[in-house]
Structure 1
């Protein structure tokens, strides 16, 4: 027969392997947070290292203090050499290592909420996933080795998986691999730890393994089919966190359009080199909010990485690569084409570049944009042959692009009149476009794009009232499109005039505004409500544009003010303010977690006490009073081995706490012994006396409403002692069964 210890050790080893797999699965969602898989070696090491460290500590039999020390030191070693290795010198940590490690541990989670996803794999972003994975692996292994609960070791990896999902947020795609690995590891761990005789394990596995396969398959299929898989309805914790880049405009980019067009000579703003099929426009700002007077942007900007999140609705697109070199463009908006997907910056300015994953807009917090060079890859949607059959996006996040604040009845009626004869959505939008292009273009028309201005232009009764330029035409299209029920916005940017080399010199003379409507499968499609032929006859085209001065030298355009970059997105040397802020948040979270654990412990102890007092049978109730007494001793720090008899336990309590307490325990031990070994069932009076002795013991040990009494009520020692006792009983049962 196989030795007794071999089967037990084999089971323990498989359980630890399951803990490694579960902890690793808890880190797999970060594949949707990071742009590449370069984070996997570190989290793999954390999964394996945490379990190995917990196994070593359990083998040595160390207490809580040493165990915590090993967990902390193990993580620090892994973080120093696995994440911050470039800060060491001759293999030894430096002051920079300590500073970056401290900031990463305290404020790394905050930095993860300030970057645009998918993010670059950086040290300051990697330390938090590493810490969470290490803690999950270490705790899971510790619970596996120190308790016999079937579910407890699965909780840390599952919690780590949920935390990772919070950091991922609304990113599209499902977590098929992570869910599959986590379910297999967790269910197998529960199966191994189920309370059953050893000889029944073979049958349990014969039934359990196919069941696990079915559950995992159903989970994967459900993940593929449910709407949550698309990321459209997921919760994003970033919406609750202060954005690192708050852009404040002194003037709407749309209102500044006329000032740029009237500059003479025009200023040079930037150059664009397009690689591939030509494009005719480049966008700087996307205006989504209209209050009846002014169009403004309501974007949330996060620190941009090399890869930028893609609009999931864009499937009918083409790739375009451009190089942009800024010379005299006023900030804060950077020129982009279509929807940017990759950004390659020249120089160390990445922490000053922000990206909005809801509008595809790039901004900078630099006080001057002169000298910014970058390469951009983007997805561009053209008005191709498939568009007439496409439908405007109807997802909930595009509802705000359909709303208008108290629109005038005249504009609503006009939208209905223009679109009534068209059967398709695209046809209705092109009808609005044709109507607006038929209006006379006049740059000298009064500025403004309020309801009153648009109503006067669209329902003109006096000469020249119907004149306008791109500002009014773009705003009118967006208002009429929204009045007809379409998700529309106003885009501000510049026209690109075709050249054989694909290089465009953009000046203030190219400033323009147009409208965009979001279509399913195509994304934001540009509509041109201003007749370019008419416009070109009234715009000056000088041969030698003037060099663009800096933003502060342009008196005609109100400057765009940008707040300094958030300390969390800057270099570590400038991050102590955020570290302190994050430390306060971390303390609050720690206190909240402590209170939660205390409430759980108190609730479980109350449940156990209620259950023991109401068990069926007087014998069970007397034994319940004895077990409650043992819990009170455990709260006082007196650990009673499960191998002792009731009277031996009473003698042990007398030696530890004195005769006053010991006498109570001896009397209660006599009741418990009679209840277990007497042939007659104890009467109700015996039950009452047993619980009265337990109450006397409690009063003797702890003065009511004292700090010691409160700490005893919240102490988890009785629960831990119960787990140990159950584990000892199960081990004894296993040995007897194997023999």
Structure 2
């Protein structure tokens, strides 16, 4: 028998028969692994349902997962090199993003300059813009491109790991990274992501199970054990699938029954970013109340056109003040960009919706009038990119230039008080703890709160008792302004110069302070009362300026309380709650403070003029893209070398593994500049390397002799020879790069010369076949 016949028997005999028997099973397992790989990525994409307002993002995100897996499968089956695989990934993503995400910029089926610009801006800054909007966000290309990019990279990488590695856990890692990234972008959205979590766990665990079974099956790849191979595979799957189901069931049910955290104070990266819309630091809106009420004649501010669903709507809110330092009520709002769909208070379940159209006339801003909790916004007459929304307070602001004469349509969610409200419990938990804080509260005010609520049996009744007491106090617009602890103490005890007289500023503040002193989450709301409608239109003027207090209840959200009673004239008649009494009946009027400047938000930065000259933005993009591209190429080269080394070391047969060790040694010599011409034998190559690099490559000489013997020996090398060959290869690497890591070692790791086309792969004889034994 000739050596060539021996080699054929060694590779195509018993082991080759087992491979023929198991080919169909391997294809089926690989296909199942790719499907599960795509399922793990799609599960992460489902998380973005809490970020976008509609499910319109699913075709693009799920399509990115599917197409990326198919593209990676094509590159893997064709055994393309690292460069070709990388070009496939980049080209596939470019096509998908062009026609799937930015298709509105395509003209006559061809991408345009706007397509390239939008794609570049989206890839570089899309992730940052996702942190400047309030979920649920509108479906826009600049927001959608980042989830598509993350999904594409994760799916392509996972599928590549499935096809080109044998590691059990590696293909799960990209899906886990994509899942974690989606959680960060979604942020502190309410609710539990049960379906995506269950889908991810099921797909990931089944993928690990299949790859573990596959690794075990390869150990039985002998034709005499084919029946054992099938039986072992079926047995492991039969035991593993129910185990996976039990693990998922216990994880989901256990997480619901015994949560590791309440989820009430989730981390949100938006808290670390600079808000895109900021309100200038000026006086609190509460102090402007008196100035507006004293305007003569009253100035028209805005109109509210309501429909038949507005029964019971009697006020609109402009600001919500939630922080009190003992002197002033202020707001701690952070305004992010608002879309058409706005995040609704999750506690507001007993509710109804009202839609109205609001037209601005003389209102100076920056706050936009709202009612209830804003749920949908159609900014027909406003700049949609300049409207800010605080998801903590439900306040809207306008940072754009469009103001006078602008109109918008708003749908608000209002609490629907019913028979359950008197028995409802106030909201508790970390989210509402700051609405109960009163730094430096005087003991007299705390005692007043306890006295007013002592005889009541329910929380709502205690608040009504505080409201009733404050409504009974004398009303006087000419009373001294202010709402500090000292002013409220004078109002409640009558020790001030105005006795117990005050107006809405003091009454709303006193209610919020007393409610907080009694342990309730309360805030002060500033806005306007809605006068009687004429032909369905409420015309609001400065005379309707008002302030009241709100307390948060479970199921009902922020419930308004009216602590300000109607004004009483000298004749005893009652009028508008904030109407002014005759000055002669009230004594000398105190001097008025100067009108407070109305706060306006800082306008957003003007867009750069791209036509004025060369823009530094492109240089910045280049400074970011070039290093990133270099890292990506370097990582691809390292991954390709690691994959090929594993394939060579795990090749079928001792001959192939011995030759694999020699080929690894040749690659290391190529990284040091030693070429391997086709005409040169293995021993001659080793001698040339010793002449060029010295005695440090001595292991390559012995390894060349082992490779030559493995090629022409009548029998395969012994296991000891294989171990010796790979030991020599390792010794060669250690001698070439003794102080690892080092710069020379790093440059060698990313050296692409061993991967150039035409080089011999593991298991091929290459030029060893022309070598004579020395």
Residues 246-286 of structure 1, C-alpha deviations (whole Å, 9 max, x = no match): 11142211011111000111111111123312311110100
User: Is 1:709 matched up with 2:727?
Assistant: no
Q: C-alpha separation between the residues in 2 aligned to 1:679 and 1:108?
A: 56
Q: C-alpha separation between the residues in 2 aligned to 1:350 and 1:578?
A: 28
Equivalent residue in structure 1 for 2:288, among 252, 256, 260: 256
Deviation at 1:41, TM superposition (A): 0.9
Of 531-540 and 192-201, deviating more is 531-540
Residues 588-640 of structure 1, C-alpha deviations (whole Å, 9 max, x = no match): 9969999x999x99xx9xxx9xxxxxxxxxxxxxxxxx99999887666669x
User: Is 1:503 matched up with 2:521?
Assistant: no
Deviation at 1:665, TM superposition (A): 3.5
Equivalent residue in structure 2 for 1:178, among 173, 193, 196: 196
Q: Is the CA contact 1:488–1:516 (under 8 Å) kept in the aligned structure 2? A: yes
Residues 66-102 of structure 1, C-alpha deviations (whole Å, 9 max, x = no match): 2112111110111011111111111111111111111
Q: C-alpha separation between the residues in 2 aligned to 1:679 and 1:100?
A: 60
Structure 2: unaligned runs, 5 residues or longer? 1-16, 218-228, 569-573, 581-593, 647-658, 673-680, 710-716, 755-760, 764-774
Equivalent residue in structure 2 for 1:536, among 571, 575, 583: 575
Q: C-alpha separation between the residues in 2 aligned to 1:657 and 1:247?
A: 73
Structure 1: unaligned runs, 5 residues or longer? 542-554, 609-625, 640-647, 719-724, 729-739
User: Is 1:479 matched up with 2:513?
Assistant: yes
Q: C-alpha separation between the residues in 1 aligned to 2:425 and 2:431?
A: 16
The 1:258–1:108 alpha-carbon spacing in structure 2 relative to 1, beyond 3 Å, is same
User: Is 1:207 matched up with 2:239?
Assistant: yes
SS at match of 1:92: coil
The 1:584–1:225 alpha-carbon spacing in structure 2 relative to 1, beyond 3 Å, is farther
Of 582-591 and 148-157, deviating more is 582-591
Deviation at 1:657, TM superposition (A): 6.8
Q: Is the CA contact 1:325–1:372 (under 8 Å) kept in the aligned structure 2? A: yes
User: Is 1:144 matched up with 2:162?
Assistant: yes
Question: Which residue in the other structure is 1:663 paired with?
Answer: 698
Q: Is the CA contact 1:103–1:572 (under 8 Å) kept in the aligned structure 2? A: no
Question: Which residue in the other structure is 1:273 paired with?
Answer: 305
Q: C-alpha separation between the residues in 2 aligned to 1:208 and 1:519?
A: 48
Q: Is the CA contact 2:382–2:407 (under 8 Å) kept in the aligned structure 1? A: no
Greater radius of gyration (CA): 2
Q: Is the CA contact 1:55–1:142 (under 8 Å) kept in the aligned structure 2? A: yes
The 1:587–1:458 alpha-carbon spacing in structure 2 relative to 1, beyond 3 Å, is farther
Question: Which residue in the other structure is 1:618 paired with?
Answer: none
User: Is 1:303 matched up with 2:337?
Assistant: yes
User: Is 1:698 matched up with 2:734?
Assistant: yes
Deviation at 1:477, TM superposition (A): 1.0
| Aligned residue runs from structure 1 range 506-525, under 5 A | 506-525=540-559
The 1:425–1:201 alpha-carbon spacing in structure 2 relative to 1, beyond 3 Å, is same
| Aligned residue runs from structure 1 range 350-389, under 5 A | 350-389=384-423
Deviation at 1:239, TM superposition (A): 0.8
Deviation at 1:474, TM superposition (A): 0.7
The 1:696–1:423 alpha-carbon spacing in structure 2 relative to 1, beyond 3 Å, is same
Q: Is the CA contact 2:101–2:141 (under 8 Å) kept in the aligned structure 1? A: yes
Q: C-alpha separation between the residues in 2 aligned to 1:319 and 1:716?
A: 64
Equivalent residue in structure 2 for 1:235, among 267, 290, 301: 267
Q: C-alpha separation between the residues in 2 aligned to 1:310 and 1:650?
A: 76
SS at match of 1:39: helix
The 1:119–1:6 alpha-carbon spacing in structure 2 relative to 1, beyond 3 Å, is same
The 1:367–1:167 alpha-carbon spacing in structure 2 relative to 1, beyond 3 Å, is same
User: Is 1:559 matched up with 2:598?
Assistant: yes
Q: Is the CA contact 1:278–1:502 (under 8 Å) kept in the aligned structure 2? A: no
Q: C-alpha separation between the residues in 1 aligned to 2:329 and 2:661?
A: 69
Residues 190-218 of structure 1, C-alpha deviations (whole Å, 9 max, x = no match): 12211212422111121122222222333
SS at match of 2:111: coil
Q: Is the CA contact 1:448–1:472 (under 8 Å) kept in the aligned structure 2? A: yes
Deviation at 1:519, TM superposition (A): 1.0
| Aligned residue runs from structure 1 range 159-170, under 5 A | 159-170=177-188
Question: Which residue in the other structure is 1:341 paired with?
Answer: 375
Q: C-alpha separation between the residues in 2 aligned to 1:232 and 1:585?
A: 40
Q: Is the CA contact 1:100–1:572 (under 8 Å) kept in the aligned structure 2? A: no
Q: Is the CA contact 2:668–2:733 (under 8 Å) kept in the aligned structure 1? A: no
Q: Is the CA contact 1:272–1:504 (under 8 Å) kept in the aligned structure 2? A: yes
The 1:144–1:259 alpha-carbon spacing in structure 2 relative to 1, beyond 3 Å, is same
The TM-score normalised by the length of structure 1 is 0.81
Q: C-alpha separation between the residues in 2 aligned to 1:255 and 1:29?
A: 44
Q: C-alpha separation between the residues in 2 aligned to 1:388 and 1:221?
A: 35
User: Is 1:196 matched up with 2:196?
Assistant: no
Question: Which residue in the other structure is 1:94 paired with?
Answer: 112
Equivalent residue in structure 2 for 1:439, among 473, 477, 480: 473
The 1:533–1:250 alpha-carbon spacing in structure 2 relative to 1, beyond 3 Å, is same
Residues 661-695 of structure 1, C-alpha deviations (whole Å, 9 max, x = no match): 4423445899999xx96999x9xxx9xxx89x967
The 1:351–1:229 alpha-carbon spacing in structure 2 relative to 1, beyond 3 Å, is farther
The TM-score normalised by the length of structure 2 is 0.78
Q: Is the CA contact 2:381–2:402 (under 8 Å) kept in the aligned structure 1? A: no
Q: C-alpha separation between the residues in 1 aligned to 2:295 and 2:450?
A: 38
Q: Cα RMSD between the aligned structures?
A: 4.4
Structure with the bigger RCO (C-alpha within 8 Å, sep 6+) is 1
The 1:577–1:112 alpha-carbon spacing in structure 2 relative to 1, beyond 3 Å, is farther
Equivalent residue in structure 2 for 1:390, among 424, 440, 449: 424
The 1:98–1:584 alpha-carbon spacing in structure 2 relative to 1, beyond 3 Å, is closer
Deviation at 1:180, TM superposition (A): 2.5
Of 421-430 and 357-366, deviating more is 421-430
Deviation at 1:30, TM superposition (A): 0.5
Q: C-alpha separation between the residues in 2 aligned to 1:454 and 1:571?
A: 53
Q: C-alpha separation between the residues in 2 aligned to 1:192 and 1:421?
A: 68
User: Is 1:74 matched up with 2:74?
Assistant: no
The 1:283–1:572 alpha-carbon spacing in structure 2 relative to 1, beyond 3 Å, is farther
The 1:326–1:396 alpha-carbon spacing in structure 2 relative to 1, beyond 3 Å, is same
User: Is 1:469 matched up with 2:508?
Assistant: no
Deviation at 1:403, TM superposition (A): 0.6
Of 215-224 and 693-702, deviating more is 693-702
Question: Which residue in the other structure is 1:735 paired with?
Answer: none
Q: C-alpha separation between the residues in 2 aligned to 1:538 and 1:343?
A: 31
SS at match of 1:512: strand
Alignment coverage as a number of residue pairs? 676
Of 422-431 and 256-265, deviating more is 422-431
Q: C-alpha separation between the residues in 2 aligned to 1:628 and 1:679?
A: 13
Deviation at 1:27, TM superposition (A): 0.7
Q: C-alpha separation between the residues in 2 aligned to 1:246 and 1:426?
A: 36
The 1:572–1:403 alpha-carbon spacing in structure 2 relative to 1, beyond 3 Å, is farther
Q: C-alpha separation between the residues in 2 aligned to 1:582 and 1:485?
A: 53
Deviation at 1:698, TM superposition (A): 2.9
Question: Which residue in the other structure is 1:36 paired with?
Answer: 54
Q: Is the CA contact 2:504–2:578 (under 8 Å) kept in the aligned structure 1? A: no
Of 527-536 and 660-669, deviating more is 660-669
Q: C-alpha separation between the residues in 2 aligned to 1:514 and 1:373?
A: 26
Q: C-alpha separation between the residues in 2 aligned to 1:636 and 1:377?
A: 72
The 1:415–1:5 alpha-carbon spacing in structure 2 relative to 1, beyond 3 Å, is same
User: Is 1:118 matched up with 2:136?
Assistant: yes
Deviation at 1:182, TM superposition (A): 1.8
The 1:664–1:331 alpha-carbon spacing in structure 2 relative to 1, beyond 3 Å, is same
SS at match of 1:152: coil
